[in-house]
Structure 1
Amino acid sequence: MKGMTNTSAVLAHSAAYAEAVQTATRAAAAYYAQGDSALDDDAYDRLVRLIEAYEQEHPDEVLPDSPTGKVAGGAAVGDVPHTAAMLSLDNVFSAEQFATWTASLERRLGRPVERWSVEPKLDGLAVAARYRQGRLVRLITRGDGTAGEDVSHAVGTIVGLPGELTEPATFEVRGEVLMTTEQFEKANAVRTEHGGEPFANPRNGAAGTLRAKDRPYTVEMTFFAYGALPLPGSGELGEGLGEWTHSDILRRVAALGVHTAADTAVPPRTAATVQEVQARVEEIAALRPELPFGIDGIVVKADSAEDQREAGAGSRAPRWAIAYKLPAVEKVTRLIAVEWNVGRTGIIAPRAVLEPVEIDGSTVTYATLHNPADITRRDLRLGDQVMVYKAGDIIPRIEAPVAHLRTGEEQPIAFPEACPQCGSEIDASEQRWRCVRGRNCRVVASIAYAVGRDQLDIEGLGTTRVVQLVDAGLVTDFADLFTLTREQLLTLDRMGETSADNLLAGIDRARTQPLSRVLAALGVRGTGRSMSRRIARHFATMDHLRAADADAVQRVEGIGVEKAPVIVAELAELGPLIAKLVAAGVNMTEPGATPPAEAEEEAAAGPTGPLGGMTVVVTGAMTGPLEKLSRNQMNEVIERAGGKASSSVSKRTSLVVAGENAGSKRAKAEDLGVRIATPDEFAVMVADALPTS
């Protein structure tokens, strides 16, 4: 629809207005029903502003389906009545609009606002959680503001929303359920393992997951509270909720064990003046690219209960709070071309080439396209205007084509008929296409990956040297590296005696790497460094692993019913390569691990090792005995000592190893009372699990 690209655009006539209402209604219905939408928040907000502007000019033409003045655009439904109306927020989009709103509020009050509360506007789904005597008894979506949908089936999958509080309190806490960047990546991995399409973005992922029932898998989400109100029987707490400031309520809720944004890099803060509010808005906006979760604005509220009561509320939104919206991290740009790249395992992956567009502070030229089926499902065409999503450091993804902007000149995307790398046939039997030659299609890439730092870690064997070895016919896979001789190496250009000896020494050291490193070097589809460590710890030896069927492999944490048979089939396919590695004397055991049968006995006896049962986070620069260890090596040490490595600090964290310049993770650990160890202290704790060289 033309005229929707900026805030100064207008709807030219009643037909354009009717189309805009229909588009907005469909988008809201899709988001609130399935957790999916063809419009991002920014596009939806702009569309609603166009509708509002037209209705102000033509009040006699307002359609009953118009989303203006309605909670959730009038699309959400539910049958559980809310304790009190669960309203949406009105929006402002600039410092000038914010100043106008604050002046209007203070005129309504007849005095300056006593104090402002400023907090991030989290990009998820609003819910109400009811606690009785300290136990979470019901979870309800916002719905239409008067009633919502019961999603209590999701209790137990939401971090920050405990099943039991630290005190037997009775009240209702309201907040946002979302997926962090890490949870979004894990959710998509689990979802695709089970044959589902990946979520387009964390917001849709959280909305869809919260409502989903009877899935054969679960994915984790996170809750952040933004308010609370009393329930019948709340007692002293209920009285306090009616009189405390907003910031005091959040502190009280946090003390009971519920997550608030106080535990993040953008905690709620109070401000005395509009100027201080604006400064805090700018601070939060600057931090946005670094946050582990999505925000689409900042919420500004009158902090005192008295100001809130006197300001009151309209039918859709309170008059004492506003959402200061930030520019979207989803933008529309043109799909110029699709490249087909072949990975080290022979997977043929499509990549979108885009007309450059700035998203979240960086220029995006390429975006992920998952597979040919994904292209077909989204009905993508060359020349399409497409919606591109990016959050933090996540690789940009195409969310959907903007179909109503098509001109008729768009062209179908041509799928390759032969492998783009070597010209061989393509195995299209699965969603992800693969060259029939598999790893042999990209021998150099496969070997270069296998010898990398987090795999076999062979120094002096970069891509250029691997190309030499392959071109000379000395290696056809990385197992051949272990049979190289000094004489063979000396035949290569620019390979002197010292370099040859150093390379052979590095290859010899790689022979003793643990099984987890060998698995990572093999590059089994569906696994990476973390999963390779889990598999190795579970099976202890390559023989045990190769003897396992899909049911046995599925017992490894994080491996589902879809991934297990793929791993079994991959290991069978890699059988000849594994046999060559064994013949060359490469280690096929995991230090400190026990075979499955013995491990079950140990598990029954309880956690073992110096870190048994502990979740450990490493942050900052390591020093002393740990100085030369990469993060992957630190994670190996943690798991070898019986612990579980994690990348984020939470109440479930047992220990944080804080090196130099530890930053926000150390601060969060201190706030949560999590034990903190220096690198030297940790090295003593796990001395037996440290690498010997």
Structure 2
Amino acid sequence: MEQLTAFDAATAASVVSDPKTRIDALRKEIEHASYCYYALDAPVLSDAAFDSLMRELRELEAAHPEFIDPSSPTQRVGGYVGEQFAPVRHAQRMYSLDNAMDLDELDAWMERTLDAIGHDTQFVCELKIDGSSISLTYESGVLVRAATRGDGVTGEDVTANMRTVRDVPLRLRDAGIAGLANADAMAEVRGEVYMPKKSFDALNAAAEANGKAGFANPRNAAAGSLRQKDPKITQGRDLATFIYAIADERAITAQSQWELLQWLRDCGFHVNPDVELCDTPQQVRAFCERVAEKRGSLPYDIDGVVVKVNSFSIQRELGFTAKAPRWAIAYKFPPEEKTTLLRDITVQVGRTGAITPVAELEPVHVAGSTVARATLHNLDEVHRKDVRVGDTVIVRKAGDVIPEVLGPVLALRPEGALPWQMPETCPSCGSPIVREEGEAAFRCISIDCPAQSLERLLHWASRGAMDIDGMGEEIVARLVESERVRDVADYYNLTEYDLATLETGRTNKEGEPIHLGSTIAAKLIAAIEASKGRSLARVLFGLGIRHVGKTTGEQLAAAFPSMERLMSASEGELAQVDGIGGVIAQSIVAFFANEDNREVIHRLGRAGVTMEDAAAGDDIPQTLAGITFVLTGSLVQSGMTRDEAGARLKAMGAKVSGSVSKKTGYVIAGEAAGSKYDKAVALGVPVLSEDDLLRLLDAGSLEAAGIPGREA
């Protein structure tokens, strides 16, 4: 492994006295060693030997700065921290992929594809890496730009950070340049940045040791590391890449995806070795089944298999839909299931006093993150699933996001395990727990319950309500413990000094308490100030009135455009509002009848929090009355949430639904639109882009926005 290459042996004697020649030789040897290590998984140098060459190169470049080259291996880390992440428009759109959620859907896609081209063809199967998409642009073989996927059209410039990722070649190898259609042409390749599982575990362990929060999963860790403002931080995060695509296949001489993968290897890119060229759909299915069985043993996370038509000419023939190529599909694995020990069942007190049983689990890694707790919803659910303390239970992620206990492995149930029962008193305040007739939930009946107070404060600050960025559970709990905050109005009395001096509960090496500090305090004060301008609908939702969710808050704000008017409304007036029945009306009246609640609202008003909502009044023409909209995907350009966009549409008279039917007027498809988009296409429902939405909101009507009208 430590032997010199043929290049070194032939030139070693002649380069000692010529620094430029020696620098060139070292760069070539280091690049060759990196290629063997990352692209071939066949290292030719030990770590110590590699480091020795790097040290020598750095010393020579320091002594001869006139020979420093941006593509030198030593230049992977810049020494400055500056304004980064400028927008980058991709030369070709970075499309998302359609999904096959099971093998039958995958078979159906392959059948449709073969029918469309009229003959058999080969498919290439690749692992679907669970990371962060990246685009790398090379001019004359030299890396000039790296960009995130962004919205598929425009990404963020992360060139400085990607230069620190060791398996990214700063200069293409000669064999790769030979495969370009034009050696001086621009080539934009694409792939995935990921963090190996071991590196992720080490990163989170280090964060925990320093009293900091870790990342939820390796995908988030990779994305967060890629967007660090200091490239040196990115360099220390042990990122890696798999490259598998090119923006424009005409830039290379390869004629197929399989040949492209070989060309990428020749260039020096890290190409996943777990790929297969399949002649039949049966071979594709078999590959997917094999990969699904071994996914847990891989050193990185995957969430499926990408299947592509091999031939570039057939790919061009099949083309693209509005959002995805017709010649490729992502087969998504079913939710991963694991077994683990149910150590205890505890209860959690919500903001309305609802008592929720929670499974306390032996931590287990499921679908990319560690799961230690999972909600069991209510007592009936616990008994229906018959889970007991001490059971070995089956855990999965619902939609690969929410931890869920499926049930016990009865054969492993320990002797004496008893059915779980709801406690009789609240664990937070000791008050009785009751279950009202007709309800699934048990509740704590005390209005002074500390746990309810904490949950109400967290709810007010949450993204769906007043969106006080950074006001998380740890900080809110400390504010309550220190008696700086008792109710939501107290947020608006906080000073920067109050927050900066707040103890975090951790200590430094000398045993002194660590405070929140002025930087975080300033950001929180700014976020609190910004929350004053949230809509009346969000204020109503944030107050935590029982039975009043986001939609009900919008309905109330539309019918009663001021807090004063709403507080004086009778049950009868409230019940006449579309979507507000007798039970909700009673709950609203009871809430506003409470003097403590009214005092909090008055204090919020004096602090400048929105108490009137012009958007809910009669000033806005109801140009969308009677038209139903469905929103799907992320609204990247505007930064609005779907709820916020829906509220603006409703202010113009529209109805906003969560499901698509023939009666739907329009579907608005943002980035990564899902099954609702597909259903709209199948039903012939018009699909609008985010640009269309913004034009509509700005123009005030479909006609003024240039969108063909449609009654629904």
TM-score class normalised by the smaller sequence: 0.3 to 0.5
- Taking structure 1 as the reference length, what is the TM-score of the superposition? 0.43
- Taking structure 2 as the reference length, what is the TM-score of the superposition? 0.42
